[in-house]
Amino acid sequence: MFEEIGKVHRVLGPVVQARGVTRAHMLELVEVGEDRLIGEIVRLEGDRLTIQVYEDTTGLAPGSAVYGSGMPLSVELGPGLIGSIYDGVQRPLEEIKKVSGEFIQRGVRVPPLNREKKWHFVPQVSGGDSVQAGQALGIVQETEHIVHRLQVPPGISGTVREIAGEGDYTVEETICELKTEKGSETLSMIQRWPVRQGRPFRERLASTAPLITGQRVIDTLFPIARGGTVAVPGGFGTGKTMVEHQLAKWSNADLVVYIGCGERGNEMTDVLKEFPRLVDPRTGRPLMERTVLIANTSNMPVAAREASIYTGITMAEYYRDQGYHVAVMADSTSRWAEALRELSGRMEEMPAEEGFPAYLPTRLAEFYERAGLVSTLDESEGSVTIVGAVSPPGGDFSEPVTQHTKRFIRAFWALDRDLANARHYPAISWLDSYSEYVDEVASWWEEQGDPEWSTLRHEILDLLQQESRLQQVVKLVGADVLPDRQRFILEVCRIFKNTFLQQSAFDKVDTYSTVDKQVKMLRIIVMYYRLGKEAIEKGATLMKIRRMKVTGEITRMKFSIPNEESDKLDSLGERLEREMRQLGKIYEQFET
């Protein structure tokens, strides 16, 4: 498969230059030196080329051979991806550990998909059937809840000459032979696809259903639609990784692709240790049965970090094409951009802002535009939702990666350091964050949750804005100078922030909130404001409202009322209305 195409001339860390090159192509997969290090051609100049090497180049010397494959950098797609842990160029880390021990040896080769495991194949077509790209040839039960549809690869169509019968096969065995216009095509369970090329689909669809995460501040205030894009920017220690962990655990995506791109090794270690122990709340099965992990930590080769984003999104598109809703967690795109900057510098390209290459916005756009809800080639519906963490140095949102990312995403969950320092989780700022998906998902929330969802959400956001302005006055002259109606706004917002927006990831009851619980909690707090405002206008004091028994129950409801007992929130709302109206009547009679 690999043929010698040139010799190494110069080594600049992960960037290798070669001379005397023949038969080379842009973005071609190559192997370099005696250890056959994996690389990719990123520049061609006559008989010279520049290679981006995805492994440690220590010891590589001029004169070493360069071998070309004639193919672009690709990933293997097929049964066995789910539950696996890969590095940035799809090398299975658990299998490599068996071969090379605790550290990855240079040039080690292990197939991404297990060649020995047999999968039970059930054909869906018969001999003589005409099939098109994207049509299922058969199915494999990959996990208990994921049916893997083995489809005709894109760009291929024809007539089934022979199809394997129901039985157990390895991923390399032939399952179908097609007669095509160009001759014949032999298909196995493995597909190979270039990572930098998006997989085709029939058409892009408008999404009206939200990705439910169980995190109240996200679902209620700043929702994201299925197939949407969102950035989670924040400085060190503000909880970006924690937010993505919670979304990976609790979101209603069918599958999750978690990309640890350039993060610290101990963070990825926590993920690798924790995820296999977690139970999927929707199925009761291990969470790894709907998860693919890509680990490319900060101490691994920088060039592979740049490729890891594309490896993950290609896997996500593959399952999208089977009709699944996939969530991609990229942690973090800043580390990926730093890899671009380092490689660009070694290739002596002209730098732009803060040393990043001039094509940074283009690369970000190419990544985020691969999200979306689509009609697949076989006319089913699937989606890829991208949640990209951004790590601006010093929490400066004006730096290039954050600013360029904002151009290509439609939801922005800004993490606030003051909230993080106050142990307010998730530390998502309700003043700096936004979502452009609100109007698109509003009808879903009003049908599935509360008919007044949009009104309630707008009212509470307006109160938070008022509270922010009042806090400026409080800092100057203190809260005592404010009238009770304004102090009551501060009180309602305090309850809303502590009871609704703050959520404990370590509490079994509070870690996840259903749609029903979220809308009922929101309605109770808004009702508390409306009725309290009315009582104050009738003469009630803020102190009396604070001392009501039901006020204490409202502040504890996120812990005291589990998701499955959300009907208790209806009773709480009734008691709130009864007690608050009774308080208002007392003062009304007193004034009369």
Q: How confident is the model at residue 109 (pLDDT cuts 50, 70, 90)?
A: confident
Helix ranges (DSSP H) in 347-422: 360-368, 400-406, 417-421
Higher pLDDT, 275 or 537: 537
Q: What is the pLDDT of residues 439-468, one digit of tens each?
A: 999 999 999 999 999 999 999 999 999 999
Tell me what pLDDT residue 587 has.
63
For 423-436, write each residue's pLDDT tens digit: 999 999 999 999 99
Instruction: Answer for the pair 86, 293: CB distance below 8 angstroms, yes or no.
Output: yes
Q: What is the mean pLDDT of residues 259-272?
A: 78
Q: Which two tokens stand for residue 543?
A: 């102190």
Pick 377 or 478 by higher pLDDT: 377
pLDDT at 591: 56
DSSP secondary structure letter of residue 83: T
Phi-psi region of 101 (alpha: psi -120 to 50; beta: other; left: phi over 0): left
Residue 109 CB-density burial (10 A; 0-12 exposed, 13-18 middle, 19+ buried): exposed
Q: Which residues, at least 6 apart from 293, have a Cβ–Cβ distance to it below 8 Å?
A: 84, 85, 86, 258, 260, 271, 272, 275
User: What 3-state DSSP class applies to 90?
Assistant: coil
**First and final CA of the chain: distance in angstroms?**
95
Give me Rg for the CA atoms of the chain: 28
Q: Which fold has domain 3-72?
A: Elongation Factor Tu (Ef-tu); domain 3 (2.40.30)
- 577 closest CA partner among 540, 543, 547, 550: 550
Locate the domains of the chain by residue range: 3-72, 203-437, 453-591
Cβ atoms of residues 16 and 51 within 8 Å:
yes
State the alpha helices, DSSP H only, in 251-324: 265-274, 302-320
Q: What CATH number is given for 203-437 in this structure? A: 3.40.50.300
Q: Residue 235 and residue 239: Cα distance in Å, rounded?
A: 9
Residue 196 is which amino acid?
A: R
Task: Tell me the pLDDT band of 343, cut-offs 50, 70 and 90.
Answer: very high
pLDDT at 4: 92
pLDDT of the residue at 48: 94
- pLDDT tens track for 64-91: 999 999 999 999 999 999 999 999 999 9
Average pLDDT value for residue range 9-24:
92
453-591: CATH, from 1.10.510.10, 1.10.8.60, 3.40.50.300, 1.10.1140.10: 1.10.1140.10
pLDDT of 97 strictly over 90: no
SS3 state at 184? strand
Whether residue 561 is predicted with pLDDT greater than 80 in this model: the reply is yes
List of residues 6+ apart from 564 with CB closer than 8 A: none
Query: Are the beta carbons of 331 and 241 closer than 8 angstroms?
Result: yes
Backbone angles phi, psi at 346, to 5 degrees: -70, -25
In the sheet that holds 176-180, the strands lie side by side as 130-131, 158-163, 176-180, 183-187
Q: Is 203 helix (H, G, I), strand (E, B) or coil?
A: strand
Q: What is the mean pLDDT of residues 310-329?
A: 97
Q: DSSP state, 464?
A: H
**pLDDT score of 395:** 87
Query: Which residues touch 44 (CB under 8 Å, ≥6 apart)?
Result: 21, 24, 26, 50
Name the more confident of 296 and 172: 172
Instruction: Report in angstroms the alpha-carbon separations of 311 from 208, 292, 294.
Output: 28, 11, 8
Instruction: Report d(CA 252, CA 426) in Å as an integer.
Output: 19
Average pLDDT, whole number, for the chain?
92
What average pLDDT does the segment 168-183 reach?
Answer: 94
Query: Does residue 272 surpass a pLDDT of 90?
Result: no
Specify the pLDDT at position 297.
Answer: 81
pLDDT at position 575: 94
The answer on pLDDT for 548 being more than 60 is yes
In this prediction, residues 270-299 reach a mean pLDDT of: 81
Average pLDDT over residues 326-340: 93
Nearest-angstrom CA–CA distance, 443 and 456: 14
Nearest to residue 503, comparing CAs of 213, 210, 211, 209?
213
| Cα separations in angstroms, 407 against 262, 336, 361 | 23, 17, 9
pLDDT of residue 181: 87
* Residue 337: strand, helix, or coil: helix
Q: What is the pLDDT of residue 394?
A: 85
| Separation of alpha carbons 163 and 294, rounded Å | 34
Per-residue model confidence (pLDDT) at position 589: 57
State the pLDDT at residue 479.
84
- In the chain, the percentage of residues whose pLDDT exceeds 90 is 78
pLDDT in tens, 360-407: 999 999 999 999 999 999 999 999 999 999 999 888 999 999 999 999
Helix (H, G, I), strand (E, B) or coil at 135: coil
Q: What is residue 501's predicted lDDT score, i.e. its pLDDT?
A: 97
* pLDDT over 60 (residue 3): yes
